[in-house]
Amino acid sequence: MAPQSGLARQRTRSAWVFLAPMLFVLAAVALYPLLRTIWFGFTDASLTSFGSARFVGIRNYLEWLDYGDGNGEWLGLLVDGRWWSAVWNTVRFTLVSVTLETIFGMVIALVLNQKFPGRAVVRAAVLIPWAIPTVVSAKMWGWMLHDQFGIINDMLMRVGILSAPVAWTASPDTAMAAVMMVDIWKTTPFMALLILAGLQMIPDDIYEAARLDGVGPVRTFRRITLPLVLPAMLVAVVFRALDALRIFDIVYVLTPNSPETRTMSVFARENLFDYDKFAYGSAASTLLFLIIAMITIGFIYATRMDLSGTRE
Amino acid sequence: MKVQSYLRKAAFYLLLGVIVLQAVFPFYYAILTSLESGQAIFDVNYLPHVFDLSNYKSAFTNGVFGHQILNSIFVATVVVVLSMLLAVTASYSLARIPFKGRALLLLTVLSVSMFPQIAVLSGLFEVIRMMGLFNSLWSLIFSYMIFTLPFTVWVLTTFMRKLPSEIEEAAIMDGAPPLVIVRRVFLPLLWPAMVTTGLLAFIHAWNEFLFALTFLSTDSQRTVPVAIALISGRSEFEIPWGNIMAASVIVTLPLVALVLIFQRKIVSGLTAGAVKG
Amino acid sequence: MATVDLRNVSKSFGSVEVLKDVSLSIEKGEFVAFVGPSGCGKSTLLRLIAGLEEISSGDLMIEGERVNDVLPAKRGVSMVFQSYALYPHMSVYENMAFGLEQAKLKKDEIARRIAEAAHMLQIEGLLERKPKALSGGQRQRVAIGRAITRQPRLFLFDEPLSNLDAALRGETRVEIARLHARLADTTMIYVTHDQVEAMTLADRIVVLNKGRVEQIGEPLELYENPASRFVAGFIGSPKMNFLTGDAARQHGAATLGVRPEDLTLSAEGGLWSGKIALTEALGSDTFVHVDTTLSDKSIVARVSPRERFRHGMPVYLTPAPERLHRFDEEGAPVRG
């Protein structure tokens, strides 16, 4: 009989055989398209002719247009006010939404961590917004926020907060607030569940000890609960922030064409497919990727998150 | 003392009531609206007062909504099955076999799951055109792998790690090669985790919007989120809110049902995916 | 021909060397126990023989064939795990059949072997059950049954009794002894940290300490002639008494060892004087702990339960001179 290979060799070989199909698919669906997107950002590709796209350097990002009379102007993404307002919208949206989601998520998690009759039912009910497709949530809220027939205006006018109906999604002052509202409503459950999972890992006897020491509930929360749940919460915040930075669906459905809510993703897609500025849109996509990657690395570094999964 | 504790209890249940109400109300209101038609829609109601199914009837008789639901079911199911097939063996390798570069690989997989979809959109568009998949449901099945595959690999890896190593060693002693270990020993033990992961991947795929909006161009090929987003009237004042709400309720009900039934499993999958188990 | 032959086997995990230059030969049909404190490398040694860990250097021969690189299942080895490691989703029958199916045996041959093993272990009534519906002792039998059906040349046990409660442990120990008697041709290696299990079951014992073999020998040989202070202290219960200082120097040793049963206790007179700190009456024997000036630890002596010694009594201890164990500074025995 031919000499057999050792167990370790057999297993290492199988590992790569097992991984190969997944790695191939990921390369085809993520790596290659990403590289192509970056490439298109340096070409003059258009929607109909990306096969014959030519390299144009950094013209999509920055270009000096000379008028020929000694004057000229800078063009390109890096000096495009619309792009930077989209960046600012995205960052603003992310900061506000994630902060509020964390606070509300914490409140809901603390409530769900109590023992009360019907807790399972309440937990299921809280999950409902998370299960509703984003597009559907945007439509539902769009209807509830309707300026003439919306129930929100009706409610607020009945209790006397508003004297006249507000065009929530159309008015520049409130459009971003409307988008945030839908996002917070939809994703707070996710936050709450992750924080709840963290809360449930805190052993009861720690609270017992604090109670015996006469520590009040507020101090208990600040000195015991919060520090212990913080790692789980940070992970949740990172995941949510990354998700929020690429927001597209809600804006597209709830407040189309509103400059106040145009986010990076919306800006990129508009250029790619609506304005036939495929190369310009690709450049925007590339910048968005860089921004998100930088924020991610910064986050991982700041929180020293262990993502490798090697530590048990 | 006693009064104080009653007050505290009342405040707690009030808060609980608010939490439940805000979570459930929009969906409740969508159902309410979907059951009204004609002029009734434009009167704000808090309680149901009519029961009119005409919006539902027209959703299924006018146009291709039924077909679009089938599209969504087809895409989400095939995506789940394919990513499971690819993920089970891959996560076995990542969870169970020590080899050089494993930590890096796991990190790569995780970072792909955080990829902004828009960053690959133009490249993917080219790939899909090249493969001749534009306006085909297979374009979605292919492109959805970018989020379902890393997600399932990641979650199954965390679950797979928790299985006792002696069981695997017993199988090795019994002469089972890796593929047999996965199929005959680990797979049956992983069923609960697979249900969880599959469910979450299904929901992700069912809800996806950006790719579906971009890679499909005709009404009969579209999936429901896009279909709902694109329902419009001739003008701002003719938006058929009743139809939109009926369609919304139809696509959401199965999801809400799934969530209510598999609540515990979903929570365990979500937390395993994010916080390492 | 020896069933198992280890030649200068070493094993490292990274920079940590857990087994150092182990050489060992096990004869066909022998029952050998690996004992030692936790972390001594005994389980690693067993896993090397099983093929679950790779050998860093040295040779492992099974029936004359070098098997360093042979897959576990091709070594003709069966293993019983500490946690039994039954497949939870398979019935008892399927658990026992799994390995045979992998070996591509015919269905009727599988059925025959399982029936035989089930009969031997009296688990015929359990074949359709899932492991969760079995008691700890039954699971243990199924695990052994699964190992038997493969008709191995070599049987490996990894602390198989440590998950059982005390009463069941004694019973199962007897059963393993019977199994060994019945499968006279099958070599068995048994890992345990419990020297009583090793003493009662094994034909020979391998004592390991910090990755090295301290001594190999028959149980009584280890007991009578320990090759090191470590072995002397590890084998035997209660433990051997160790004295250092003057008492040892008088006998030409750095450490003097004397087993409890080799001490005579007397109220009148003897070699060493002391005071009784504690008596443990077990019925068959009484162990008397005596505080002396010779050692900070009490010296334990075994006396007949008929003798009455009370707490606080001044007593004298006299060791049987021919039964003294003498060790030098390194813990090696002093000869002559």
Q: Which residue of B has its CA nearest to C82?
A: B166
Q: Verify that C134 and C75 share a domain, yes or no.
A: yes
Q: Quote the mean pLDDT of chain C.
A: 91
With contacts defined as CB-CB under 8 Å, which chain B residues touch C73? 172-176
Q: What is the pLDDT of residue A303?
A: 63
Structure tokens at B29: 């209101």
Of B25 and B43, more confident: B25
Say whether pLDDT at A3 is over 60: no
pLDDT digits (tens, 9 = 90+) for A157-190: 999 888 888 889 888 889 999 999 999 999 999 8
pLDDT digits (tens, 9 = 90+) for A74-87: 888 888 989 999 99
CA distances from A159 to A153, A174, A283, B14, B176 (A): 10, 20, 49, 19, 70
pLDDT digits (tens, 9 = 90+) for B59-116: 888 778 889 999 999 999 999 999 999 999 999 999 999 888 888 898 888 888 878 8
Judge: A7–C68 Cβ closer than 8 Å, yes or no. Answer: no
Q: How confident is the model at residue B276 (pLDDT cuts 50, 70, 90)?
A: very low
Q: Verify that C215 and C281 share a domain, yes or no.
A: no
Q: What is the pLDDT of residue B272?
A: 66
Q: Verify that A253 and A106 share a domain, yes or no.
A: yes
Q: Which positions ≥6 away from C294 have C-beta within 8 Å? A: C243, C245, C246, C247, C272, C274
Of A72 and A310, more confident: A72
Q: Verify that C250 and C287 share a domain, yes or no.
A: yes
Question: Residue C332 falls within a domain, yes or no?
Answer: no
Distance CA A76, CA A83 (A): 10
Q: What is the CATH number of the domain that holds A143?
A: 1.10.3720.10
Q: What is the pLDDT of residue A305?
A: 55
Distance from CA of B98 to the nearest CA of C (A): 12
Residues 46-105 on B with a CB inside 8 Å of A are 46, 86-87, 89-90, 92-94, 97, 99, 102-105
Q: Verify that A15 and A133 share a domain, yes or no.
A: no
Say whether pLDDT at C101 is over 90: yes
Q: Which residue of B has its CA nearest to C97?
A: B174
Distance CA A130, CA B200 (A): 11
Q: Is A2 on the interface with C (CB under 8 A)?
A: no
| Helix (H) or strand (E) segment spanning residue C209 | strand C204-209
Domain coverage including residue A15: 1-35
Judge: A3–C69 Cβ closer than 8 Å, yes or no. Answer: yes
Judge: C74–A4 Cβ closer than 8 Å, yes or no. Answer: yes
pLDDT digits (tens, 9 = 90+) for C291-327: 998 888 899 999 988 888 888 889 999 999 888 999 9
pLDDT digits (tens, 9 = 90+) for B165-192: 999 999 999 999 999 999 999 999 988 8
With contacts defined as CB-CB under 8 Å, which chain A residues touch C51? 6-7
Q: Verify that A142 and A270 share a domain, yes or no.
A: yes
Q: What is the pLDDT of residue B206?
A: 92
Q: Is B189 on the interface with C (CB under 8 A)?
A: yes
Structure tokens at A264: 């990076």
Query: Are residues A193 and B267 in contact, defined by beta-carbon separation less than 8 angstroms?
Result: yes
Query: Are residues B69 and B250 in contact, defined by beta-carbon separation less than 8 angstroms?
Result: yes
Say whether pLDDT at C245 is over 80: yes
Cα A267 from chain centre: 16
Q: Using a pLDDT cut of 90, give the percent of chain B over it.
A: 52
Which CATH number does the domain B62-274 belong to among 1.10.3720.10, 1.10.260.40, 1.20.1280.290, 3.30.70.20? 1.10.3720.10
Instruction: Give the closest of A36, A144, A264 to B123, CB-based.
Output: A36
Query: Are residues A4 and C72 in contact, defined by beta-carbon separation less than 8 angstroms?
Result: no
Question: Residue C283 falls within a domain, yes or no?
Answer: yes
Q: How confident is the model at residue A94 (pLDDT cuts 50, 70, 90)?
A: very high
Question: Residue A308 falls within a domain, yes or no?
Answer: no
Q: What letters, b where the CB count within 10 A reaches 16 and e where it falls short, cover A267-295?
A: bbbbbbbeeebbbbbbbbbbbbbebbbeb
Q: Verify that C281 and C305 share a domain, yes or no.
A: yes
Q: What is the pLDDT of residue B212?
A: 95
Distance CA B39, CA A260 (A): 33
Q: Per DSSP, what are the bridge partners of residue C9? A: C22
Structure tokens at C215: 């001594």
Say whether pLDDT at B52 is over 90: no
Q: Verify that C70 and C170 share a domain, yes or no.
A: yes
Q: What is the pLDDT of residue A64?
A: 85
CA distances from C105 to C94, C108, C115, C124 (A): 14, 8, 15, 21
Q: Quote the mean pLDDT of chain A.
A: 87
Q: What is the mean pLDDT of residues C88-108?
A: 94
Q: What is the pLDDT of residue A17?
A: 93
Judge: A7–C71 Cβ closer than 8 Å, yes or no. Answer: yes
| Helix (H) or strand (E) segment spanning residue A279 | helix A278-303
Q: What is the pLDDT of residue B5?
A: 86
Say whether pLDDT at A2 is over 50: no
Helices B54-61, B65-96: axis angle to 10 degrees equals 80
Q: Which of C42-46, C279-283, C290-294 has the highest mean pLDDT?
A: C42-46
Give the residue among C265, C257, C210 at the shortest CA–CA distance from C235: C257
Q: How confident is the model at residue B277 (pLDDT cuts 50, 70, 90)?
A: very low
Eight-class DSSP state of A117: T
Q: What was the ipTM of the complex prediction?
A: 0.89
User: CA quadruple B203, B208, B212, B213: dihedral positive or negative?
Assistant: positive
Q: What is the pLDDT of residue A4?
A: 38
Question: Residue C336 falls within a domain, yes or no?
Answer: no
Q: Verify that A15 and A158 share a domain, yes or no.
A: no
Q: Which residue of A has its CA nearest to B108?
A: A308
Question: Residue A76 falls within a domain, yes or no?
Answer: no
Instruction: Return the half-sphere exposure (C-beta side, CA atoms, 13 A cut-off) of residue B139.
Output: 25
Structure tokens at C78: 């069966």
Which segment of A67-71, B205-209, B221-225, C49-53 scores lowest on mean pLDDT? Answer: A67-71
Give the residue among A10, A70, A244, A136 at the shortest CA–CA distance from B224: A136
Judge: C71–A6 Cβ closer than 8 Å, yes or no. Answer: yes
Judge: C87–B170 Cβ closer than 8 Å, yes or no. Answer: yes
Q: How confident is the model at residue A72 (pLDDT cuts 50, 70, 90)?
A: confident
Q: What is the mean pLDDT of residues A52-63?
A: 86
Q: Where, residue-wise, is CATH 1.10.3720.10 in chain B?
A: 62-274
Q: Verify that A108 and A226 share a domain, yes or no.
A: yes
Q: Verify that A157 and A285 share a domain, yes or no.
A: yes
Per the structure, the count of domains in chain A is 2
Structure tokens at A120: 């399972």
Say whether pLDDT at B234 is over 70: no
Q: Verify that A129 and A192 share a domain, yes or no.
A: yes
Q: Verify that C207 and C105 share a domain, yes or no.
A: yes
Judge: C52–B188 Cβ closer than 8 Å, yes or no. Answer: no
Global pTM value: 0.86
Question: B32: helix, coil or strand?
Answer: helix
Q: Which residue of C has its CA nearest to B170?
A: C85
Give the residue among B217, B276, B266, B222 at the shortest CA–CA distance from B247: B222
Q: What is the pLDDT of residue A304?
A: 62
Distance CA A143, CA B29 (A): 10
Question: Residue C334 falls within a domain, yes or no?
Answer: no
Q: How confident is the model at residue C263 (pLDDT cuts 50, 70, 90)?
A: very high
Instruction: Give the closest of B92, B115, B259 to A124, CB-based.
Output: B259
- The residue out of C175, C198, C231 marking a domain boundary is C231
Structure tokens at A305: 């998150």
Q: Verify that C142 and C209 share a domain, yes or no.
A: yes
Judge: B170–C102 Cβ closer than 8 Å, yes or no. Answer: no
Q: Verify that C211 and C245 share a domain, yes or no.
A: no
With contacts defined as CB-CB under 8 Å, which chain A residues touch B170? none
Q: Verify that A213 and A144 share a domain, yes or no.
A: yes
Q: How confident is the model at residue C184 (pLDDT cuts 50, 70, 90)?
A: confident
Peptide bond into C333 cis (omega under 30): no
Q: What is the pLDDT of residue B101?
A: 87
Q: Is B15 on the interface with A (CB under 8 A)?
A: yes
Distance CA C31, CA C200 (A): 11
pLDDT digits (tens, 9 = 90+) for A226-271: 888 888 888 888 888 888 999 999 999 998 888 899 999 999 999 9
pLDDT digits (tens, 9 = 90+) for C139-152: 999 999 999 998 99
Judge: B263–A14 Cβ closer than 8 Å, yes or no. Answer: no
Judge: A6–C52 Cβ closer than 8 Å, yes or no. Answer: no
Mutation target to probe the C interface, by most C beta carbons within 10 A, among B168, B172, B173 is B173
Q: Verify that A164 and A17 share a domain, yes or no.
A: no
Q: How confident is the model at residue C336 (pLDDT cuts 50, 70, 90)?
A: low
Question: Residue A45 falls within a domain, yes or no?
Answer: no
Give the residue among B104, B130, B140, B128 at the shortest CA–CA distance from B213: B140
Q: What is the pLDDT of residue B235?
A: 66
Q: Verify that C223 and C253 share a domain, yes or no.
A: no
With contacts defined as CB-CB under 8 Å, which chain C residues touch B189? 88-89
Say whether pLDDT at A220 is over 90: no
Question: C272: helix, coil or strand?
Answer: strand
Q: Verify that C93 and C157 share a domain, yes or no.
A: yes
With contacts defined as CB-CB under 8 Å, which chain B residues touch C85? 164, 166-167, 169-170
Q: What is the mean pLDDT of residues C224-231?
A: 93
Query: Are residues A21 and B92 in contact, defined by beta-carbon separation less than 8 angstroms?
Result: no
Say whether pLDDT at C126 is over 80: yes
For B44-48, the CB contacts below 8 A with 24+ separation are B44/A149, B44/A150, B44/A151, B44/A154, B46/A151
**Alpha helices (H) along A1-80:** 7-26, 32-40
Say whether pLDDT at B274 is over 60: no
Residues 151-180 on B with a CB inside 8 Å of C are 164, 166-167, 169-176, 180
Chains B, C: CB contacts under 8 A, how many?
57
Q: What is the mean pLDDT of residues C20-29?
A: 93
Q: What letters, b where the CB count within 10 A reaches 16 and e where it falls short, cover A148-173?
A: ebbbbbbeeeeeeeeeebbbbbeeee
User: CA quadruple B187, B188, B193, B194: dihedral positive or negative?
Assistant: positive
Distance CA A305, CA A238 (A): 10
Q: How many beta carbons lie within 10 A of that of residue C147, not counting itself? A: 27
Q: Which residue of B has its CA nearest to C79?
A: B173
Distance CA A99, CA A187 (A): 12
Q: Hey, which bits of B22-133 come out as E strands?
A: none
Judge: B123–A12 Cβ closer than 8 Å, yes or no. Answer: no
- The residue out of C231, C250, C285 marking a domain boundary is C231
Q: Verify that A2 and A88 share a domain, yes or no.
A: no
Q: Verify that A155 and A228 share a domain, yes or no.
A: yes
Judge: B103–A273 Cβ closer than 8 Å, yes or no. Answer: no
Q: What is the pLDDT of residue A306?
A: 52
Q: What is the pLDDT of residue A222?
A: 87
Q: What is the CATH number of the domain that holds C227?
A: 3.40.50.300
Domain coverage including residue C246: 238-327
Say whether pLDDT at B1 is over 90: no
The region that residue C210 occupies, defined by phi over 0 for left and psi between -120 and 50 for alpha, beta otherwise, is left
Q: Verify that A22 and A119 share a domain, yes or no.
A: no
